[in-house]
Amino acid sequence: MKQHTTGRSPAVWALVITSIAGFMAALDNLVVTTALPSIRTSLGGELEDLEWTVNAYTLTFAVLLMFGASLGDRFGRRRLFLIGLSVFTGASAAAALSPGINELITFRAVQGVGAAIMMPLTLTLLTAAVPPARRGAALGVFSAVTGLAVASGPLIGGSLTEHISWQWIFWLNVPIGLLLLPLARLRLAESYAPDARLDVPGTLLVSGGLFGIVYGLVNANAEGWTSGTVLAALIAGFALIGGFIYYGFRAKNPILPMRLFRNRAFFGINIAGLLMFLGMFGSIFLLSQFLQGALGYSPTEAGLRMLPWTGMPMLVAPVAGVLADRFGGRPVVVAGLALQAVGLALFAMVLAPDVSYAAQLPGLIVGGVGMALYFAPAASLVMSSVRPSEQGIASGANNALREVGGALGVAVLATVFSSQGGLGSAQAFAAGTVPAVWIGAGVVALAALVALLIPGRSARTPEQAEEQEETRVSVAA
């Protein structure tokens, strides 16, 4: 009995440390959204500056996510986890101390670098520390904690902003990070991947390409779509992404092997995830500001009113998991994306400067149920679409594409908002938000159609069916 307890201790510590680190990284995706009006009042800046306070984090996080995992495989996962956590914690303190909007954007980008190194290694370290029989349960706890961060992000951000100051959405990370650093050093075991190689050319191509595209979209309204800077950024960005795709087919060990996208299941769930985050994240960026700027809610009130949407996955996810086990992942994911699209459409239909909260509730609830149905089986579909030896690459690619979708969503929908309305009045706010949210709904509906490409349960290979059954038994145990 004593030996059993001793063996369990490293797994428990790994679960605690990685879950808290994952919570911090996921929280910073959405915690800023309800603080944006206060940041603008405090530091100044236009809409494109507010976009960059969100996108500077999501973009560096997305494009460096797989590279961060490769660094850990090559130089030691615990060592790189500690480096990523240190960078994230230090950048959080620097963001809180930012004297202006440009400095805040810079430190948000550095935060994203730290999160990109830290976040993918949380799952690797946790998987290595937990015995296979308990791995499913441990990953379930980790996912629930990450989901809690997404659900509580707008509320935590709003409460800290209103009752203390917006700087505390960043100060919050500092004591947690300082506590985790010695615990991770003492309680996590070091590990490496055999024959790990770094793909520097691939990382440079995808990083430069995505930066060019997002930079062009964010600055299009301020500088004009035909300005030399915007056109050069967009052309260079798409050219570099084209080069990244070509490189992914040709290179021996690319950071993202493009051959994986020949698999219908891998293509369907990943492209659907990118589109879902594009529509959802861009809409949350605008709606959280609409609730404050147009309807006059305080930051805390805005965060609370978004809980039926962002918090619904905590309630519905267990049911969604049961449905996925019974009917397969594809119908649950498709239904979830369709409901998320309907929820956004319901929101767009009622948005007005004097809209009541009762009129907003149907869209929030339907969208929240849809989000929960999507999230529950998505990870399993990603993992079952590839061979076991490729699951690390598949997980990293899925997370990276979703983060890219979030960054593009903020850029694209904010561009629509700026072209149709503005921040000047409640009427202008509504005029810009309504068409942007309609587009968000359309993009998520397209994601539902793409998800139909995922093969049904009967179309899976025997190897995939066997792996899924082993995973199900492991989780049940």
Give pLDDT tens digits for 314-368.
Answer: 677 677 767 777 777 788 888 889 999 999 999 889 888 888 888 888 988 898 8
Give pLDDT tens digits for 205-219.
Answer: 887 887 788 778 777
**Positions of E strands within 18-144:** none
Note the pLDDT of residue 1: 35
> Is residue 77 within 8 Å of residue 192, measured between CB atoms?
yes
Task: Evaluate if pTM is beyond 0.85.
Answer: no
Give pLDDT tens digits for 431-461.
Answer: 888 899 999 999 999 999 998 888 866 544 4
For residues 396 and 65, what is the distance between their CA atoms, to the nearest angstrom? 7
Q: Mean pLDDT for the chain?
A: 79
- Which residue bears the tokens 């973009």? 59
390: pLDDT confidence band, cut at 50, 70 and 90?
Answer: low
pLDDT at 474 over 70: no
pLDDT at 93 over 80: yes
Cα distances (Å, whole numbers) of residue 107 to 52, 69, 112, 179, 289: 11, 22, 9, 21, 22
End-to-end CA distance of the chain: 19
For residues 298 and 291, what is the distance between their CA atoms, to the nearest angstrom? 8
Pick the range with the lowest mean pLDDT from 39-48, 147-156, 181-190, 415-424.
Answer: 147-156
- Length of the chain equals 477
- Dihedral of alpha carbons 102, 288, 345, 323, sign: positive
> Is residue 474 within 8 Å of residue 139, measured between CB atoms?
no
For residues 76 and 445, what is the distance between their CA atoms, to the nearest angstrom? 41
Q: What value does the CA radius of gyration of the chain take, rounded to a whole number of Å?
A: 21
> Is residue 333 within 8 Å of residue 454, measured between CB atoms?
yes
Note the pLDDT of residue 140: 63
> Is residue 275 within 8 Å of residue 409, measured between CB atoms?
no
> Is residue 341 within 8 Å of residue 445, measured between CB atoms?
yes
